[in-house]
Structure 1
Amino acid sequence: MAIHPQAGQLAPHSSLVNLPELMTAYYLNKPRAATHPDERVSFGTSGHRGSAFLTSFNEEHILAIAQAIAEYRQTQNISGPLYLGKDTHALSEAAFQTTLSVLTANGVRVRTQLNGGYTPTPVISHAILTHNKHQHDVSDGIVITPSHNPPEDGGIKYNSLKGGPADKDITDWVAKRANALLENNLVGVKRLSLQDTQSCGLIESFDFINHYVNDLENVIDMQAIAKAKIRIGVDPMGGSGIYYWEPIAKKYGLDIQVVNTEVDATFRFVPLDKDGRIRMDCSSPYSMQGLLKLKDDFDIAVGNDPDYDRHGIVCAQSGLMNPNAYLAVAIEYLSKNRPQWSQDIQFGKTLVSSGMIDRVVQGLGRQLCEVPVGFKWYVEGMFEGSMAFGGEESAGASFLRKDASVWTTDKDGFIMALLAAEILAVTGKDPQTLYNEQVAQYGKPYYKRIDVAANSAQKALLGALDAKNVTQKTLAGEAITSVLTHAPGNGAAIGGLKVSTGNGWFAARPSGTENVYKIYLESFISENHLAELEREAKELVDSVLAS
């Protein structure tokens, strides 16, 4: 994909999302679930996402999903409060109110942020886990967010009793019930009026900020950061964690400067991504231009996406780190600086994350667990404490507390950001410097991801890729060593294909939330070898689509 000529620049006013038009579409557009597959409820790797303009995220979707979740809770005898959070997307506020009206009509107690504020994804996970550890009734949660997606998008995901994204069995149940409700004109959906919702007595204000912030010292070495006087720059990118940084700085005596305090549902202050769209992707050097221009003012600078489940790490000398590189550094640092973690504990990566992680974990003599795309695959291991770290190539990760007990079972952009400061404070080296040392030891990887537009039928074909689709014995001049359709770490289906050689690999899979398919590639030889991998991978995918 060619880089848009305005990538890294602020969007012209004329191209910003028309918020009144968007909100009108949310309430007036009616999904045709029975006849239009793209307008049905569909849970991808992280919930149901869509756009009100495309009739894929509208009030009727949320009514049906919220009712389905309320009914699922009843089947599981979940009697504790549901922790409900939202990010700063325009559709999130509307969907939040819709969700409240349905949950309360079903008699569900709901805990929301004091004064109607925003609540990041990891904070919801943390709240569920701490509640279920200390209370007799059990709780779950909902986060209303499309993550880093463009301003016109919306999203909703259900977090289970174990704090993280619900597994496929649960989301399949919820989606099936929600679509049945849509197809039956929402007969069976219970809903209170706005006035009745506010006066029903089922909405409980909860101080998410202090509950989370006061516990951070049990997962991050805050004293080391404060003692080293690390200067931390933060760009919240207009996201839900914007009001957390001042309390963090105050409680732990940290030198934190928030460089952008704006919250605006158009996200007009976020530079255009590589394709010319506003996308709050803290792993993109284009979207992160605002913070990159200030990198010399800080020892470590960090950015996060709107729901704070992703992180972007900026080092003073080198700029924005590659997400895969930071995961490799974080794993090595944590394995050496968390003495209470068992030597037998696992470190998790997705099949499409860098092979550098494999080499680092092997070099440490630790255990690797390779799973399909989606943080839900880490929930069980992190909940039980058998998995120390779970990371995704898309700049999302979380890890255990210092005492090896669970912190969150969803991606946590706060702790990954603060870990970068801890690494610098403890080692005297920033994460990029440590990664350069890993490259010197294990070799230099060349990594690339390609997104290609695809319709539902094409995505279905790609999702059904099988080992029989690979007939060749070599890939980019090397013998093929493995063809995977299931993850070696847990045996779960990839929903695509991964082909590996001694010094390279590619994986192809359809996106669960966008109308694209993705090809991931990596070479430990050269850029030319990576290009050859790309050519052969595309030929394979094209042959499948043409069949």
Structure 2
Amino acid sequence: MADAKAGKIVDKNDLVDIDALIDAYYKNTPDISNEEQKVVFGTSGHRGCSFKNSFNETHILAISQALSDYRKENNIKGTLFIAKDTHALSTPAEISALKVFIANGIKCAVAENDGYTPTPVLSFTVIEANKTSKELSDGVVITPSHNPPQDGGFKYNAIHGGPADTDVTSTIETKANEYIANKLEGVKTVDEKTAFESAQKFDFITPYVKALDEVIDMKLLQGAKLNVGVDPLGGSGIEVYKKINEIYGLGLDIVNDKVDKTFSFMSCDHDGKVRMDCSSPYAMSSLISLKDKYDLAFANDPDFDRHGIVTKNGLMNPNHYLSVAIWYLFQNREGWSKGLKIGKTLVSSSMIDRVAKSINTEVYETPVGFKWFVDGLKNGYLGFGGEESAGASFLRKDGSEWSNDKDGIILNLLAYEITAKLKKDPSQIYKELEEQFGKAYYERSDAPATSTQKAKLKKLSPNDISSKTLAGEEITDIFTNAKGNDKMIGGLKVVTKNGWFAARPSGTEDIYKIYAESFISKEHLATIQNEAKEIVLSVIK
């Protein structure tokens, strides 16, 4: 059940004290004997809060030195491009990181005019730099993505422009915690003034926007007579949309160009917290309320790696939009080779599989995490990679790589292209897909689990499951390694003809997540969810 505050503008009394937050960043010191205060690189880097001693200057100094060591050991000598979003802790973290990187002799580039840089723009920049430079470049994105205003985040994007592999982040994580344990002995720094004067001031945005016509049919958009609204949700890409209007003359109506570290303009999410999640109907209440004003509207989270599409019918479910985007792209990109595959995570909707079969395209299913799509996008065997959490990217029109990280900007502009070309918005197209392939009922829920039970769940094998049926249907497949790349999923997935569930332990809470889908009914979905809990409990109790 949603909190009473859900969908309502955040109360002034609930806003974060930014001064206190930043003060805690510099003054508080983590105790890494406490697991919650250690450096931990999850699927999207290290995240935490300075109030909780999980994201403080000590963490960033240690991570930055560990990353400097990694670059030196791997002979990475090109520019380290540094992006940050609009969270309050992002600028202090940028300063801390620069002090270390410059002290280690690393060539750094930061946004000109102390600006902000979206995650996909950083990825694009690294890819472009490595086309011409003999010395390979990489990047850092300082963002906790859609997390609440008090959180901070730090992510490493490798020389391919995408999220670094687990083996790389594990190395950085281990070394960073060693530096913290040794009271930062061996961490090199320069003063703040020297750090910023030594860093190149770089225009990230203009080259990215100028190149958009290589991935989106911008001429079609220029000729379309659509009324389109944009809400950047106070994020890092406000200037991107302004530059799009400047270069292409689209006349996008930017309904909110405000940067406010407290995000006081946000509607609360389902739990009453402020969370800039552009896939949440609660957080997106303000833009949804304007749906009748526009033919199409869209939003992004603070680092712009996620997309939120609003049509006359309201906010699109991310799974629904991914299905439409895939259906459209693989039939409207003549420069793409016929053998390209569709990258999807194992917890994304099976509507994608049904669409893929109808257009004779193979699905490449992976564990959760966009990093699993990087190799495919870079080396040209994936045309598209997408996650159920509203994150995706795809190739340029000529079949070459664009961004090897999630790009919420091009997914939003693709909705514009689809609507302009087909004279139907993505929600109307999805209804047609439902008429053809059946209606999908999808939901994610949580169930309690101890740390011991979560550890068991993470290491299951298909042989541990004795059940032969699920919600009245024969089980056709059980797997604990993803079908596409055979990597461990850290849980299991159980499949029938008209439904499936996947169970994965949470990395931060005493729960496990159940993703489930039915192509029969809501009642059938509920049965799948209930039986999923029974099946999982029988093997982890």
Structure 1 CA distance for aligned equivalents of residues 95 and 222 of structure 2: 40
Alignment of 1:368-447 (within 5 A): 368-447=363-442
Alignment of 1:469-508 (within 5 A): 469-508=464-503
Deviation at residue 25 of structure 1 after TM alignment: 2.1
| TM-score, normalised with respect to structure 2 | 0.97
Does the 8 Å CA contact 1:220/1:418 hold for their aligned counterparts? yes
- Which SS does the other structure have where 2:375 is aligned? helix
Corresponding residue of 1:226: 222
- Which of residues 128, 136, 139 in structure 1 aligns to 2:137? 139
Does the 8 Å CA contact 2:7/2:285 hold for their aligned counterparts? yes
- Which SS does the other structure have where 1:53 is aligned? helix
Corresponding residue of 1:287: 283
Alignment of 1:356-375 (within 5 A): 356-375=351-370
Does the 8 Å CA contact 1:299/1:315 hold for their aligned counterparts? yes
Distance 1:227 1:56, change over 3 A: same
Of 345-354 and 259-268, the range deviating more from structure 2: 259-268
Does the 8 Å CA contact 1:87/1:239 hold for their aligned counterparts? yes
Alignment of 1:177 with 2:190, yes or no, is: no
CA offsets, 1:358-406, max 9 Å, x none? 0100110011100010000000110112110000000000000000000
Corresponding residue of 1:239: 235
Alignment of 1:61-460 (within 5 A): 61-199=59-197, 201=198, 203-316=199-312, 318-451=313-446, 459-460=454-455
Deviation at residue 24 of structure 1 after TM alignment: 2.3
Distance 1:260 1:514, change over 3 A: farther
Does the 8 Å CA contact 1:8/1:274 hold for their aligned counterparts? yes
- Which SS does the other structure have where 2:331 is aligned? helix
Deviation at residue 119 of structure 1 after TM alignment: 0.4
Structure 2 CA distance for aligned equivalents of residues 110 and 353 of structure 1: 37
- Which SS does the other structure have where 1:388 is aligned? strand
Report the AA paired with residue 259 of structure 2.
Answer: V
| TM-score, normalised with respect to structure 1 | 0.96
Distance 1:24 1:464, change over 3 A: farther
Corresponding residue of 1:44: 42
CA offsets, 1:249-307, max 9 Å, x none? 12112120000111111111110001111110000000000101111111110010000
CA offsets, 1:89-118, max 9 Å, x none? 111111111111111111111111111100
Count of matched residue positions in the alignment of Structure 1 and Structure 2: 541
Deviation at residue 461 of structure 1 after TM alignment: 3.8
Distance 1:460 1:39, change over 3 A: farther
Report the AA paired with residue 322 of structure 1.
Answer: N
Deviation at residue 513 of structure 1 after TM alignment: 6.2
Gaps of 5+ in 2: none
Report the AA paired with residue 3 of structure 1.
Answer: A
Report the AA paired with residue 507 of structure 1.
Answer: A
Distance 1:217 1:285, change over 3 A: same
Deviation at residue 512 of structure 1 after TM alignment: 4.3
- Which SS does the other structure have where 1:215 is aligned? helix
Structure 2 CA distance for aligned equivalents of residues 512 and 19 of structure 1: 27
Runs of 4+ more than 6 Å apart: none
Alignment of 1:465 with 2:467, yes or no, is: no
Structure 1 CA distance for aligned equivalents of residues 451 and 210 of structure 2: 45
Percent identical pairs in the alignment equals 54
Structure 2 CA distance for aligned equivalents of residues 458 and 150 of structure 1: 29
CA offsets, 1:189-246, max 9 Å, x none? 11111123234x3x00111110111110100001111111222100000100011111
Does the 8 Å CA contact 1:230/1:254 hold for their aligned counterparts? no
- Which SS does the other structure have where 1:90 is aligned? coil
Corresponding residue of 1:11: 10
Report the AA paired with residue 321 of structure 2.
Answer: Y
CA RMSD, Structure 1 to Structure 2 (Å): 1.5
Report the AA paired with residue 183 of structure 1.
Answer: A
- Which SS does the other structure have where 2:89 is aligned? helix
Does the 8 Å CA contact 2:345/2:366 hold for their aligned counterparts? yes
Structure 2 CA distance for aligned equivalents of residues 511 and 62 of structure 1: 24
Does the 8 Å CA contact 1:229/1:254 hold for their aligned counterparts? no
Structure 2 CA distance for aligned equivalents of residues 145 and 515 of structure 1: 25
Deviation at residue 463 of structure 1 after TM alignment: 2.2
CA offsets, 1:140-189, max 9 Å, x none? 00000000011111111100100000011111111111111111111111
Report the AA paired with residue 263 of structure 2.
Answer: F
Deviation at residue 468 of structure 1 after TM alignment: 4.0
Does the 8 Å CA contact 1:42/1:48 hold for their aligned counterparts? yes
Structure 2 CA distance for aligned equivalents of residues 430 and 542 of structure 1: 43
Distance 1:437 1:361, change over 3 A: same
Does the 8 Å CA contact 2:444/2:513 hold for their aligned counterparts? yes
